[in-house]
Amino acid sequence: MSTYNKARQLFNARPELLDVALETVSFWTEAELEQRHDELMDDTLPEVVIGSYTYSPSQVLREVDPTAYRQEVLTYIDNMDVVEIEDYYFDENELAEFIEQHTTREAL
């Protein structure tokens, strides 16, 4: 069973554990992951210069082609070892450990 499915099952059975996970497992919001994506893009690609104006690559892509920008962000998130639960993106390894610590055979 996937980490996502185990987490859903655990949090459905014991909703209070989601709050505990938020206190103990590394997680990010989508906005935070988007910011990390932008920083990576801006650190690895050259700035875009138009005349006397300079723009960051992430800003240009976001403004010129929002669909492509969104796809790039989603690809970045998909390539991370994260599990999305309730609009939070948990570190998959830490979440798996959390589930193991809070799961009994009777609960699942």
pLDDT at 106: 47
Is 21 exposed, middle or buried, given 0-12, 13-18 or 19+ CB atoms closer than 10 A? buried
With bands split at pLDDT 50, 70 and 90, how would you rate the model's confidence at 103?
confident
- Report pLDDT digits (tens) over 63-89: 999 999 999 999 999 999 999 999 999
Bridging pattern class, strands 82-85 and 27-28: unpaired
Please check the confidence at residue 30 and state whether its pLDDT lies above 90.
yes
- pLDDT tens per residue across span 49-67: 999 999 999 999 999 999 9
Instruction: Kindly report, residue by residue over 2-28, the tens digit of the pLDDT.
Output: 999 999 999 999 999 999 999 999 999
Residues written for the chain:
108
| Distance of alpha carbon 83 from alpha carbon 77, whole angstroms | 10
Looking at residue 26, its pLDDT comes to 97
What sign does the CA torsion over 5, 8, 12, 14 have?
A: positive
